[in-house]
Structure 1
Amino acid sequence: MAMGSFNSPGTQMPTAEINMTPLVDVMLVLLIIFIITAPLMTHSVKVDLPRAASTPTPEKPMTLQVSITGESLIYVGNATVDRNGLEQKFREAVAQDANVEMHLKADRDTRYETVAETMSAARRAGLTKIGFVTQPASEQR
Structure 2
Amino acid sequence: MGMNVGSGSKSADPEPMIEMNMTPLIDVLLVLIIMLIITIPIQNHAVNLNMPAGTPPMQTTQPEVVTIDVAADGTIIWNGEVVPDRAQLEARLQGLAAMPDQPEVHLRPNKMVSYKSVAAVMASAQRLGVTKLGMVGNEQFIK
TM-score normalised by the chain length of structure 1: 0.52
Offset from partner CA, 1:61-113 (integer Å, 9 cap, x none) = 32110000001000111211112221111111233453321100100111100
Q: In angstroms, what is the RMSD of aligned CA positions?
A: 2.5
CA distance in 2, matches of 1:95, 1:111: 29
The residue that corresponds to 1:88 in the other structure is 91
CA distance in 1, matches of 2:138, 2:126: 24
Runs of 4 or more off by more than 4 Å in structure 1?
none
Are positions 1:112 and 2:119 aligned together? no
Does the 8 Å contact 2:70/2:109 carry over to 1?
yes
Instruction: State the 1:134 CA deviation.
Output: 1.1
SS at match of 1:105: strand
Q: Which amino acid aligns with 1:57?
A: Q
Q: Which amino acid aligns with 1:80?
A: V
CA distance in 2, matches of 1:83, 1:111: 16
Classify 1:97/1:78 alpha carbon distance in 2 versus 1 (closer, same or farther; 3 Å). farther
Classify 1:95/1:103 alpha carbon distance in 2 versus 1 (closer, same or farther; 3 Å). same
- Output aligned runs, 1:50-89, within 5 Å: 57=59, 59-81=61-83, 82-89=85-92
Q: Which amino acid aligns with 2:101?
A: A
Bigger shift: residues 56-65 or 77-86 = 56-65
- Percent identity reads 26
Classify 1:114/1:93 alpha carbon distance in 2 versus 1 (closer, same or farther; 3 Å). same
Q: Which runs of 5+ in 1 are unaligned?
A: 1-54
TM-score normalised by the chain length of structure 2: 0.51
CA distance in 2, matches of 1:136, 1:118: 20
Classify 1:97/1:103 alpha carbon distance in 2 versus 1 (closer, same or farther; 3 Å). farther
Q: 1:101 aligns with which of 100, 104, 126?
A: 104
Classify 1:102/1:71 alpha carbon distance in 2 versus 1 (closer, same or farther; 3 Å). same
